[in-house]
Structure 1
Amino acid sequence: MRTALTITLAMALAAPGAAHAATAADNGTNFTAAQPEDDRAQERREARAERARKARAERAERQREARQERQRSENRERSRQNRSQASDRDRDRSFNARAANERMEAAQRRAENAERRERSSVRQRGERQVDRAERRREINARTERLRDNGNVVLRGDRDFERERVRDRRGERRTERRIERRTDERRDRVERRQSHSREYYRDREDYAKQRAADLRRNGDRIVRYNGRDYRHWHSHDWRTDRRYDWRRYRDRNRTIFSLGYYYDPFGWNYRRYNIGYNMRPSYYSSRYWISDPWRYRLPPVYGPYRWVRYYDDALLVDIYSGEVVDVIYDFFW
């Protein structure tokens, strides 16, 4: 009985040790099996990192190559533009040289033609002189033969005189043709100069002189239609209801829209006040308001005229160019 109890107790004490040994064995086996998994995960991470590094390197290389290709294309485009500009300059220089050569050749041709015409005219004059001398000798010989025969007829003299008159007519016709061409050239030059600023200055001087003459001659006629035309009373008509142009313009706006104003000198707008003097071109007949009542303006008399200046209506003394009345922003 005692022996069985001893065996049972020994077995009970040996069981925890065996279980511990078995547990230790199992843990060792599991650790040994988990270690290769961690190595493979580390290898995969390193492989992914290496692939990412290679991808970044390849992307950087491609970007660098793209930049280099773009730079090369820009350089090629710039060089092509430079060559194009250089070729354009060369072509311009060659064109200018060719044009200069053509002008020189044209001048040389004109000089040669003039010299040829001169030689031809000299030769023709010489031939005409020789022909006239021969005809004169023939006429003289014929006259002498007629005189020797006793029949004194001055037929040869009449023929010679007739030829001489015909030659003079041809010369006068040529001279008239040359004078006519010269006059035509002079007229063309004068017509071109008539539109220049010097022409306008001359016109202004003429207009001032004419205004002075008119004022000097007009002092004898100081009244026009019962009024003293040398003075304009700008406030009298503004109180008259017949000339209420503002209300009339509000109801008839299209009448006051005259369109573009053409400045004779191409200058900008300048605000004229009463007492200013205008240039004659600004109050010429093309700018007159011929029917003041159409715009409900008072009638004018003597030297006064209503004149359009841009959108303003000015009353101007056309003898002196003085502005005697102003309505600003009259037209649209």
Structure 2
Amino acid sequence: MRNFVMLAVAAGLVLPTAANAQRGPENRRGPQAEARELRAGNQGSMGDRIAAQVANAEQQRRAEQRDRRQDRREDRRDDRRDVRDDRRDDRRDWRQDRREDRREYRQDVRRDQRQARRAYRDWRAYRQAERQAFRRGAYYAPRGYYYRPVRVGGLLSASVFLGQRYWIDPYDYYLPQPSRYYQRWIRYGNDVLLIDTRNGRVLVVYDNFFW
């Protein structure tokens, strides 16, 4: 009986050892599996970080492209605005220059006329000095009329003689200025007449005025 008890006790001691021996390989594979899982987890985390970095870089690239497009649009708008402003300034400067040129031209003409009038007392002195200015070419009377000498007090029966094609600017030939607004110098043949435009009456006659 005592021997049986001892065998039972020995068997109890041996059986756990054998179980542990059988579980030993599983216990040795446990840390390797955990290492593999850890490496897999690390690789997954690294992939996520790389993907996040790539997505962030792509987002930044797209944002930079939008900014560049926006800058280009703003530059084009600024360029068009500058062109419009330049054209507007050019037109304004051109109009200003044109007004100044006309004003200077009128001033020059008046100055030349004043100087010429100081040099020539009347049309006779001017004609002696500037004979070429009194060559006006052929004279053409109105249709149906012909040249016939007239004297002061006479009447021009044809109102067509009052047309602008026959008008004479007194400033051009240093003629006396008409004293009334309705008086005008006209060419009649090679003569020059001062007439009353209201009734065609001849007030002054200069025969052979033109060569």
What is the TM-score with the length of structure 2 in the denominator? 0.51
Alignment of 1:113-152 (within 5 A): 113-137=97-121
1:87 aligns with 2:71: yes
Q: 1:136 to 1:46 in 2, by over 3 A?
A: same
CA RMSD of aligned residues (A): 3.3
The correspondence for 2:90, drawn from 71, 81, 106, is 106
Alignment of 1:1-332 (within 5 A): 31-137=15-121, 157=124, 159-163=126-130, 165=132
Structure 1 residue 31: deviation in Å? 4.9
Q: 1:35 to 1:121 in 2, by over 3 A?
A: same
Q: 1:39 to 1:102 in 2, by over 3 A?
A: same
Runs of 4+ in 1 over 6 A off after TM superposition: 27-30
Structure 1 residue 81: deviation in Å? 0.6
Structure 1 residue 113: deviation in Å? 1.7
Structure 1 residue 37: deviation in Å? 3.6
Structure 1 residue 98: deviation in Å? 0.7
Structure 1 residue 161: deviation in Å? 4.0
State the percentage of identical aligned residues: 15
Structure 1 residue 130: deviation in Å? 1.4
More helix by share: 1
Q: 1:115 to 1:168 in 2, by over 3 A?
A: farther
Q: Look up the equivalent residue of 1:72 and give its one-letter code.
A: N
Structure number with higher relative contact order (C-alpha < 8 Å, ≥ 6 residues apart): 2
Structure 1 residue 167: deviation in Å? 10
Between the aligned partners of 1:131 and 1:157, the Cα distance in structure 2 is 16
Structure 1 residue 166: deviation in Å? 5.6
Between the aligned partners of 1:69 and 1:167, the Cα distance in structure 2 is 96
Structure 1 equivalent of residue 140 of structure 2: none
Between the aligned partners of 1:167 and 1:63, the Cα distance in structure 2 is 105
Deviations 1:55-105 (A, max 9, x none): 222222111111111111111111111111111011101111011111111
Structure 2: tracts of 5 or more residues without a match: 137-211
What is the TM-score with the length of structure 1 in the denominator? 0.34
Structure 1 residue 158: deviation in Å? 5.0
Structure 1 residue 30: deviation in Å? 6.4
